[in-house]
Chain A
Amino acid sequence: MKTLKLSLATALLALSALASAEEAVLKVSAIPDEAPTELQRKFAPLGQYLEKELGMKVQFVPVTDYAAVVTALNSDKIDLAWLGGFTFVQASLHGKVVPLVQREEDSKFTSKFIVNAAVGAKSLKDLKGKSFAFGSASSTSGHLMPRYFLQKEGIKPETFFKNVAYSGAHDATVAWVASGKVDAGALNASVWDKLVESGKVDGSKVKLLATTPPFYDYNWTVRGNLEKKLQERISAAFLKLDPKKPDQKAILDLQRASRFIPTKADNYKGIESAAETAGLLK
């Protein structure tokens, strides 16, 4: 009898240990469009806010590779991810994902073309025979859309430029152009503005050359089989962020958002067809 009690107690203990290990954790990740340290800094207060609002632990999973975020979301290894327009299209082609919210700014996003001052280029046409850097190959505002708009101008990067390279991230593109490692490059307008505002761009070395027309970009997406209730609560938490409250304004500022608005998959049809035109989808 004693042994039975003992084994029952052990079994219970084991069960409770299992239950606590199963304690609900929301795993969140983001495409690494900026340096890893910058991503962590940007996410920290948002993560705390989500923990409070959702009443569950929120864990940020740092990832150093765009495609890996897509793979992780499609194989249910993460629950919520900050995706670019193109990575969202890739994820929805490889599995079921649901876009929840986006920043108000994301509905009219742009990319910037920048050039090393020593090149002396006045327009995109002047870049013929120069070297050029996109961000990550999987980036919307760092690769897909700049490529698409170049193509519309009759410029095929692989033959027009001397060399086409992929820096991997938007801030890296600026560093490459500033150092002369490449002559020119394209990046996300939001990161460009941030770097200019914080004085991290040397105006005597890097010049702004052109800006693209607007397009839909980034959103927060969940895996398709995440509990419907939880999906709604995540959306609500984002939509509730109020720029008038100072602590919430700080979160929004770090995300470079005036506020969050709902989004839907149809918003990214334009990105999908641009990707097809640019030959980046198969």
Chain B
Amino acid sequence: MLSPHPRDPARWPRLFTLLLGLLLLAPSFPLTQFNPATLANPDSWHTMAGFVAGFFPPSLQSSFLHDVARETITTLASATAGIALAILLGAPLAFATTRALERQALAAERASASMEGVKSLLRGLMVILRGIPEIVWALLFVRAAGLGSLPAVLAIGLAYGGMLGKVYAEILESQPRELAAALHLQGASRWQCLLYGLWPQALPELLSYSVYRWECAIRASAVMGFVGAGGVGQLLDTSLKMLNGGEVSTLLLVFLLLVNLTEGLSLLSRHALERPRGGVYLLGSGIVAVVASVQWLLPGWRDSGFDLSAIPRFIHDFFLPDGSMLAELAHGTLETLAMSALGTVLAFVAAAMLAMPAAGRFGSLLKLASRLLLNLLRGVPDLLWASIAVLAVGLGPAAGVLALALHTAGVLGRLFAETLENADPAAEQALRLAGAGRVQAFSYGPLPAIFSQWVAYTLYRWENNIRIATVLGIVGAGGLGQQLYLALSLFQQHKAASLIIAMLLLSWLVEQLSRAWRQHMA
């Protein structure tokens, strides 16, 4: 006979995990100076309300609209040219380093030590390329060689090149090996194995990932202006600094339009991939887009006075990194970590609350409203949220927490809603039929199953947020980014070098931890 369980049998371990989490989180509040009371403070609401009231009407001055149109095209063109550069960089790196084409994978042979050494070097290079956030790359190019859209293109090219190199290699590794192995046995070269054994099956996935990256590049390119690298971000930076609400709202609208447009285009091209010859059309239109982009950007590059020859001197100035600022570095790193942790936890709570209506649990009207809200939260990039958040909670890391929370809530909310919709309704229905209340049925029906999925998504986003938290300081929201921006403004290159190394280490550490964690989970 079954003995009745009047209470949750797992309550003690659950309570313990929760308390441990809260205990770990507690130092984040003083570190980020995040005080939920500030949000309720009438003064900051007053500031915010004054600014938002200035949003209406959006500025429609013809000279301003003309600038907006020009810079929007520049934003699109920089992203497209940047992705082209990233592919040119990432594809050879992936070809050189992928384990899918290694002899020991294709046949049971040992690779030579020197080849392995070269591969490790290339992998290290990719870690550095993607470990420095694209906006930091842009800032470095702007400081080294001059303003304009070229730094934005180079920044996207380098950062995304490192990323594409890694992901392309992984995509090749995930393909079935038999064909390539058979070709290898018959004496085919590395190239031939790739071209005939892996390429045909991997192509749709490679293209689809590249299109996804292009979508990300547009969001990145739109905020490059915050460091002087052209595009709509440049206009937005000026308008935000001068607190010109009308211009800000016009730019925000353009921004959302741009993000939605690219999402639509990206979806369209992924559909095209499923059609016969879709890949060819996609490739063709991609090449046309790249050529048009470079054509559009070229005159600006000629006039900008971008000076490639200044880069070696700039790099030279970085040696040696300043070692005397360990305390400052430690503080910046802790602040960055605390911002990301607190921001992600707040986002989790907000996302869970928004996911319920967004999954249609409270009627279709609430579903539509919450979906719209989630889209808005997600569509505005973190850096932009940060520059608005400094108005609400003042300058400093607290604004970073709020910015991360808002943007991440949008991202997680959508994912959470999807898991809710996909959850098997049987358990919940059974509990309801057995007389359980709505809350009870939900808590013991679908929740345990989806909760681990939610936690996995949240951990993944946290990893992402640590990287983003390092750059939010560029708009005054604390962390390592703020120190870096200041050091580079004052030509304190040694200090800047130490800060970049700290960023790289943090990014590398997070990547390793997350990989170990995922292997552990699998």
What residues make up the interface of A, taking CB atoms closer than 8 Å to B? 27, 35-36, 61, 63-68, 70-72, 75, 77-78, 90, 94, 118, 131, 133, 136-138, 163, 165-169, 171-172, 175-176, 179-182, 280-282
Task: State which of B46, B147, B391 has its C-beta within 8 Å of the C-beta of A63.
Answer: B147
Identify the closest chain A residue to B54 (Cβ): A179
Question: From residue A116, how far is it (CB to closest CB) to chain B in Å?
Answer: 10
B242:A172 contact, CB within 8 angstroms: yes
12 additional A-B residue pairs with CB within 8 Å, beyond A64-B228, A94-B491, A181-B394: A61-B305, A65-B147, A68-B142, A70-B491, A71-B143, A72-B305, A75-B307, A90-B491, A166-B476, A166-B486, A167-B241, A172-B243
Q: Complex: how many Å from CA A181 to CA B488?
A: 25
Q: Complex: how many Å from CA A267 to CA B309?
A: 32
B242:A179 contact, CB within 8 angstroms: no
Q: Complex: how many Å from CA A68 to CA B396?
A: 25
Task: State which of B144, B147, B307, B486 has its C-beta within 8 Å of the C-beta of A64.
Answer: B147
- Neighbouring B residues of A27 by C-beta, 8 Å: 305
Identify the closest chain A residue to B237 (Cβ): A64
Query: A179 and B143 in contact (CB under 8 A), knowing A137-B486, A165-B395?
Result: no
Q: Complex: how many Å from CA A197 to CA B238?
A: 23
Q: Complex: how many Å from CA A109 to CA B234?
A: 31
Question: From residue B37, how far is it (CB to closest CB) to chain A in Å?
Answer: 15
Could you jot down 17 A-B contacts, CB within 8 Å? Answer: A35-B238, A63-B147, A66-B489, A67-B491, A71-B146, A71-B307, A71-B310, A72-B146, A90-B491, A168-B241, A169-B241, A172-B242, A175-B243, A179-B47, A179-B243, A282-B492, A282-B494
Question: From residue A35, how far is it (CB to closest CB) to chain B in Å?
Answer: 6
Q: Complex: how many Å from CA A169 to CA B237?
A: 12
Q: Which among B390, B486, B489 has the highest number of chain A CB atoms within 10 Å?
A: B489
Contacts of B460-499 to chain A: CB distance below 8 A = 476, 486, 488-492, 494
Task: State which of B46, B51, B307, B395 has its C-beta within 8 Å of the C-beta of A182.
Answer: B395
Instruction: Kindly list the 9 A-B residue pairs having the minimum CB-CB distance in the complex, ordered from nearest.
Output: A77-B305, A165-B395, A137-B489, A172-B241, A180-B47, A65-B228, A75-B307, A175-B243, A163-B396
Task: State which of B309, B395, B488 has its C-beta within 8 Å of the C-beta of A131.
Answer: B395
Contacts of B331-367 to chain A: CB distance below 8 A = none
- Neighbouring B residues of A72 by C-beta, 8 Å: 146, 305
Task: State which of B228, B395, B486 has its C-beta within 8 Å of the C-beta of A68.
Answer: B228
Q: Complex: how many Å from CA A138 to CA B43?
A: 31
In the complex, whether B50 has a CB less than 8 A from a CB of chain A is: yes
Query: A138 and B50 in contact (CB under 8 A), knowing A72-B146, A168-B241?
Result: no
A67:B47 contact, CB within 8 angstroms: no
Q: Which among B43, B50, B238 has the highest number of chain A CB atoms within 10 Å?
A: B238
A35:B228 contact, CB within 8 angstroms: no
- Neighbouring A residues of B237 by C-beta, 8 Å: 64
Contacts of B209-242 to chain A: CB distance below 8 A = 228, 234, 237-238, 241-242
Task: State which of B47, B234, B309, B489 has its C-beta within 8 Å of the C-beta of A138.
Answer: B489
- Neighbouring A residues of B309 by C-beta, 8 Å: 75
Identify the closest chain A residue to B486 (Cβ): A137
- Neighbouring A residues of B243 by C-beta, 8 Å: 172, 175-176, 179, 181
Task: State which of A77, A165, A166 has its C-beta within 8 Å of the C-beta of B307.
Answer: A77
Q: Complex: how many Å from CA A175 to CA B242?
A: 6
Question: From residue B236, how far is it (CB to closest CB) to chain A in Å?
Answer: 12
Query: A137 and B147 in contact (CB under 8 A), knowing A172-B241, A180-B43, A181-B390?
Result: no
The proximity string for B residues 160-192 relative to A, scoring 1 for CB distances below 8 Å and 0 otherwise, is: 000000000000000000000000000000000
B51:A68 contact, CB within 8 angstroms: no
Question: From residue B91, how far is it (CB to closest CB) to chain A in Å?
Answer: 33
Query: A181 and B486 in contact (CB under 8 A), knowing A64-B147, A64-B228, A166-B476?
Result: no
Identify the closest chain B residue to A168 (Cβ): B241
- Neighbouring B residues of A282 by C-beta, 8 Å: 492, 494
Q: Which among A94, A118, A180, A281 has the highest number of chain B CB atoms within 10 Å?
A: A180
Q: Which among B51, B146, B305 has the highest number of chain A CB atoms within 10 Å?
A: B305
Question: From residue A282, how far is it (CB to closest CB) to chain B in Å?
Answer: 6
B242:A35 contact, CB within 8 angstroms: yes
- Neighbouring B residues of A179 by C-beta, 8 Å: 47, 50-51, 243, 391
Q: Complex: how many Å from CA A107 to CA B488?
A: 29
- Neighbouring A residues of B238 by C-beta, 8 Å: 35-36, 64
Contacts of B306-329 to chain A: CB distance below 8 A = 307, 309-310
Question: From residue B181, how far is it (CB to closest CB) to chain A in Å?
Answer: 54
Question: From residue A117, how far is it (CB to closest CB) to chain B in Å?
Answer: 13
- Neighbouring A residues of B146 by C-beta, 8 Å: 68, 71-72, 75, 77
- Neighbouring A residues of B391 by C-beta, 8 Å: 179, 181
A165:B476 contact, CB within 8 angstroms: yes
- Neighbouring A residues of B242 by C-beta, 8 Å: 35, 171-172, 175
Q: Complex: how many Å from CA A75 to CA B395?
A: 35
B142:A65 contact, CB within 8 angstroms: yes
Q: Complex: how many Å from CA A182 to CA B47?
A: 10
Q: Complex: how many Å from CA A66 to CA B243?
A: 20
Question: From residue B281, how far is it (CB to closest CB) to chain A in Å?
Answer: 40
Question: From residue B299, how far is it (CB to closest CB) to chain A in Å?
Answer: 14
- Neighbouring A residues of B46 by C-beta, 8 Å: 180
Question: From residue A126, how far is it (CB to closest CB) to chain B in Å?
Answer: 18
Question: From residue A181, how far is it (CB to closest CB) to chain B in Å?
Answer: 6
Q: Complex: how many Å from CA A167 to CA B475?
A: 10
Contacts of B483-520 to chain A: CB distance below 8 A = 486, 488-492, 494
Identify the closest chain B residue to A275 (Cβ): B490
Question: From residue A201, how far is it (CB to closest CB) to chain B in Å?
Answer: 14
- Neighbouring B residues of A68 by C-beta, 8 Å: 142-143, 146-147, 228
